[in-house]
A = this chain, B = another copy of it.
Amino acid sequence: MSEREEFLRVARRAGDAASGLAPLPRAAKDAALHAVADALVESAPEIVKANEADVARAREAGTSEYMIDRLGLTVERIAAIAEAARKVAALPDPVGESVRGGVLPNGLELRQVRVPLGVVGIIYEGRPNVTVDAAALCLKSGNAALLRGSSSAHESNTALVGVMQAALAGTDVPADAVQLVPGTSRESVKHLMRARGLVDVLIPRGGASLINSVVEESTVPVIETGVGNCAVYVDASADVAMAVDILLNAKTQRPSVCNAAETFLVHADIADAFVPRALEALREAGVTVHGDERIRSYGGDVVEATEDDWYAEYLSLDISGRVVDSLDDAVAHIRTYGSGHTEAIVTTSQPAAKRFVARVDSAAVMVNASTRFTDGEEFGFGAEIGISTQKLHARGPMGLPELTSTKYVVTGEGHLRG
């Protein structure tokens, strides 16, 4: 069987599993998630062994210790992954929720209810915990998961999916509801991206280049996630101490994630009060500032910002900074360079907050709060499959309801259209 034929076989089995999974009641799905969690804990030693093979291969290939740490699984980490699956079981089931409903003038009863999407494809890099997290969120929302992890984690992912499938075999959830895309070649990803009709949605999780290539090549509908070039705008009316605290938190609390700040924009009227204090605080935190001429005029070790800096998602202890003459100039900067993830305004002016919120076209807009709050856990969703930066279907942190579609159910008594 060719790799493509093998893929099609797997995808069709996922489709059949999705049909069996869709009508299952919550209790059956929760029981399956607990069975998966139990099995992961029980099989932790064999999963660790498979992971050791991946880690050894990565070491031989000269992978950085940071990446190897991300790749590594221990019995403790596996216990935490299993615990996360139990947490998903505890979340409300979105399937069957009534989104809209009523009786039409002609007496027809109309209800719009949440239903699973069907088969969800997930392409991801790095950490093998995503294999279980994504599968758990898909199962809970009644979807089959077709997983394509990094080839560097292939042994680990194969072991994790094997354990999950064996656990599901003893439950009402079809074991085929969780599957790995066969193969590790670049070509094997393409089968997934071209599987329109077999796969209902594709969620790439990873860096900009992965996401762009999926968007470019996929005929399956894609939800873009994760690229965050987030800005903090310090308005003329800002509380300076609050602005410094928010900027520092947004930049340094966890620099490697998509909701970390990558740019600050300061209104000219408050620059004298804000910029020196901000530069000092950033320097103390080890942050390199890439500034325009007006930022650089305040001294300090500010690197000259290039056009590339305004576009940059550093994911490191770097930040770009610029003085702007108005709130609208800040909005214009964000419109030109931002990625539509999260922007924050620090202000004491209600009209300024209102104008910024109305004009900034990002998934999340923060008023007097750190950009770091854009997160499914922080928003109270319990878990997230990713943070969408597109406008279609889901925008911002995606929880369980974002993994569903809807269906209209219309009930009559022999109603005919006249």
Contacts and interface: CB of A to CB of B under 8 A. Distances in A.
A380 interface: yes
A254 B152 CA distance: 57
Contact of A417 (B365, B373, B412): B373
A245 B416 contact: yes
A9 interface: no
Interface residues of A, number: 69
A61 to B, nearest CB: 33
Contact of A367 (B118, B390, B409): B409
A358 to B, nearest CB: 4
A365 B414 contact: no
Interface in A199-225: 200-201, 215-216, 219, 221-223
Interface string A174-209: 000000000000000000000010001100000000
Contacts of A57: none
Nearest to A110: B379
A368 B412 contact: yes
A392 B369 CA distance: 31
Interface string A303-335: 000000000000000000000000000000001
A256 interface: no
Contact of A357 (B219, B367, B409, B417): B409
Contacts of A270: none
A393 interface: yes
Interface stretch (A125-133, A154-162, A400-408): A400-408
A170 interface: no
Nearest to A243: B414
Contact of A361 (B19, B102, B112): B19
A396 B412 contact: no
B407 A395 contact: yes
Contact of A378 (B249, B397, B417): B417
A385 to B, nearest CB: 14
Nearest to A107: B369
A320 to B, nearest CB: 21
Nearest to A417: B372
Given A104-B380, A117-B391, A215-B219, A396 B373 contact: no
Q: Which 5 A-B pairs have the closest CB atoms?
A: A369-B412, A391-B405, A372-B417, A393-B393, A249-B416
Given A362-B407, A366-B410, A395-B406, 16 more contacts: A19-B335, A22-B359, A22-B361, A23-B358, A110-B380, A200-B391, A216-B219, A221-B390, A249-B416, A363-B408, A364-B407, A369-B411, A369-B416, A370-B415, A373-B415, A396-B408
11 contacts: A23-B358, A102-B380, A104-B378, A112-B396, A117-B391, A118-B361, A253-B416, A369-B410, A370-B416, A396-B408, A397-B408
